[in-house]
Amino acid sequence: MRSPSFRYAWLALGLGLALGGQPAAAQLLAPAHGQTYNFLTVTALESPTKNMAKLLFTPAFNGRSEIPLEAVGAFSSAAVLEQLRHNEEVITQSLGDLSAAGWELIQVMPVPFSFDKSVTTTRYLLRKAKN
């Protein structure tokens, strides 16, 4: 039989882990000191189909709601790597432009694309303090 102090040690450890963990996403998005934010979503669709490969902005940023990306799916691995590299450059440049305009990246998540498994989708959530 274990001693009561052993049980209390496990209870304290469990509570410490439960209460001292990382903040939830809702806590990260919560306004700090009454600050309010505008939000912008960037969705990267990487697809072997040219008309599906694009970077979407919601709402539009600098008058643009989308930027075309390279279709990923060439016949050689070198070509695929070049297409991916080009898309990464477009995404990185776009995120840099958003950051320079005062937008803060707060979350990145992969998004399942249910009707076409060949499409890779990543969503970027940004916020900017309202003035």
* pLDDT tens over the chain, length 131 residues: 555 554 444 444 343 434 444 444 544 555 567 889 999 999 999 988 888 999 999 999 999 999 999 998 867 788 889 999 999 999 999 999 999 999 999 999 998 866 777 888 999 999 999 98
Residue 13 located in a structural domain: no
Residue 17 pLDDT: 39
Rounded Cα distance, 96 and 51, in Å: 25
**Residue with structure tokens 């209460």?**
19
Which residue type occupies 114?
Answer: S
Residue 114 located in a structural domain: yes
Do residues 37 and 31 touch, judged by C-beta distance below 8 A?
Answer: yes
Residue 97 located in a structural domain: yes
Coil/strand/helix, residue 115: coil
Rounded Cα distance, 12 and 5, in Å: 10
Residue 59 pLDDT: 97
Residue 8 located in a structural domain: no
Q: Name the DSSP class of 1.
A: -
Residue 24 pLDDT: 43
What domain range includes position 99?
35-129
Rounded Cα distance, 59 and 38, in Å: 10
Total domain count, the chain:
1
Residue 119 located in a structural domain: yes
List Cβ neighbours of 97 (8 Å cut-off, separation of 6 or more): 61, 62
